[in-house]
Amino acid sequence: MPYAITTTGWRAINPDMALMEGETYVEEIPQSLIDAIAAQDLLRVTTAELNTRTRLATAQVTALQSRVDAINDAIAGDYALPEEVEEKPLRVSALADWKKYRVLLGRVTGLPVWPGAPTWPDQPEPYNEETTVARAIQS
């Protein structure tokens, strides 16, 4: 079966069909084109995974930073609850873990295994801001 190929794909054609601009007529799809498209697909999927992880990390950093800031405000204003004073070191530590994770995610594409077999850094324990707020309100 004949094909019209470009650098990014192919389509099956009848031998008497006209080619579109940039297409080349071939009887068989070259393996190099199949491999190139597979590599593009892998890069697209792996990049999407990296973007998802990075968005989560950024959301976690933002939520934790907000919580730490609120606790710091309460401490500075001398109206912090004892639970908040106890909570602060945990949130500061979690914030540092998420910031490190986000930085390490930014380095994944520089590893020699990218994008075929990315080595993802270990994700820290998620911070659930709603649970923390609910506990404070119930007290």
DSSP 80-115: --HHHHHHHHHHHHHHHHHHHHHHHHHHGGGSTTTT
Task: Work out the number of other CB atoms within 10 angstroms of the CB of residue 34.
Answer: 11
CA distance 56 to 80: 29
Would you state the pLDDT for residue 133?
A: 46
Domain hosting residue 116, numbered range: 39-138
pTM: 0.77
Residue 21 counted as domain residue: no
* Best CA proximity match to 102, nearest among 55, 65, 66: 55
Residue 6 counted as domain residue: no
CA distance 116 to 112: 9
Which are the contacts of 49, defined by CB distance < 8 A and separation ≥ 6?
Answer: 118
Residue 25 counted as domain residue: no
How many domains is the chain built from? Answer: 1
Residue 9 counted as domain residue: no
Would you state the pLDDT for residue 129?
A: 61
CA atoms lying within 13 Å on the CB side of residue 29? 18
Phi, psi (deg, nearest 5) at residue 17: -75, 145
Residue 23 counted as domain residue: no
Residue 4 counted as domain residue: no
Q: For each of the chain's 139 residues, which pLDDT tens digit applies? A: 899 999 888 899 998 889 999 999 999 999 999 999 999 999 999 999 999 999 999 999 999 999 999 999 999 999 999 999 999 999 999 999 999 999 999 999 999 999 999 999 999 999 976 544 444 444 4
Would you state the pLDDT for residue 130?
A: 52
Would you state the pLDDT for residue 77?
A: 97
